[in-house]
Amino acid sequence: MARIAYVNGRYLPLTDATVNIEDRGYQFGDGIYEVFYAYRGRLMDETLHFARLERSRGEIGLASPMGAAALRVVIHELMRRNRVETGLVYLQLTRGVAKRDHVFPGPVPRPALTITVRPKPEPPEALDGWSAGAITLADERWGRCDIKSINLLPNVLAREAAKQAVALEAILFDKAGMVTEGASSSVWIVGADNVLRTRGLDQHVLPGCTRAAVLEDVATEGLDFREEAFSLEALRQAREVFITSATSFVKPITALDGVPVGNGAPGLIANRLYARYLARLKEG
Ligand code: PDD
């Protein structure tokens, strides 16, 4: 069955789903995006994702093509047309088509909204087959990583470097040697003191929706937790490292730059939070 994409109000076979070469997303990366995980027809953490989309849109001064309720209808229709119940939904919104000029175009073009979906398997019941290795890399991104911008060149290069090192993720650190986040995920550690940590939100990290949801699970589990930045050194000495995102759920990092994290197996805290994640997924 041919895949169907949503392009500015139309549902089109992927092969016909094209955008104008003067689209500002294509020309300048002048746009934002969201990735949702759909599980058995439901969008995981959807309120958080729609809120972040609104925030990113506001931060770059983009007009809204439609509200969250209408967007929801479009996404579900697209899933229905593609017969995808469990998978990834990619939504991109750009400033639209205009003659190339850096400044915002006037009159304001219609923002370009495109959405695609593709199947993704359900998460495994146990974490054993779900862990991965990561590399560490200097964070070379811009100063507004809190905006989910489609400008992802440093992230792309970082993920490719990870792949070349037979790892999945690249964990990034700033000039002060503090961990920011993964190239496409939020990063968590359990230190030698057994305290779970993830960096607080600032302009150098994306406010992860999975991160926000997992924070509630952390409270429910009554874990010893601090929302604070941690160093590359602390990362290397951690008992547990795991990442969270819409695509990785809760994923243990069992090796860093080729060196095992702890005993090289998914840790206790990651297991507990993964179980909570699965429970939330199934409860809806
Ligand atoms: N990435 N940090 C970065 C830089 C990310 O790109 C992502 C997600 C996250 C986690 O956010 P969330 O939990 O809302 O997925 C953190 C998506 C999955 C992507 O670009 O494909």
DSSP string of 78-113? HHHHHT-SSEEEEEEEE--B-SS-SSPPSSPPPPEE
Residue owning the nearest CA to atom 5 of ligand 1: 184
In which order are the strands placed within the sheet that holds 87-94?
10-13, 4-7, 112-119, 87-94, 31-39, 42-43
Domain boundary among 119, 152, 172: 119
Question: Is 148 known to be catalytic?
Answer: yes
The total domain count for the chain is 2
Residue owning the nearest CA to atom 20 of ligand 1: 184
* Residue 191 belongs to domain with CATH number: 3.20.10.10
User: Could you tell me if residue 110 is inside a domain?
Assistant: yes
Verify that 48 and 139 share a domain, yes or no. no
pLDDT by residue (tens digit) across 165-222?
Answer: 999 999 999 999 999 999 999 999 999 999 999 999 999 999 999 999 999 999 999 9
Q: What is the residue range of 222's domain?
A: 133-283
Verify that 104 and 140 share a domain, yes or no. no
Question: Which residue among 44, 52, 168, 185 is best mutated to probe the pocket of ligand 1, counting the most ligand atoms within 8 A of its Cβ?
Answer: 185
Verify that 187 and 76 share a domain, yes or no. no
Verify that 107 and 164 share a domain, yes or no. no
User: Could you tell me if residue 125 is inside a domain?
Assistant: no
Residue 1 confidence class, pLDDT cut points 50, 70, 90: confident
User: Could you tell me if residue 223 is inside a domain?
Assistant: yes
pTM beyond 0.95: yes
Mean pLDDT of 20-43: 98
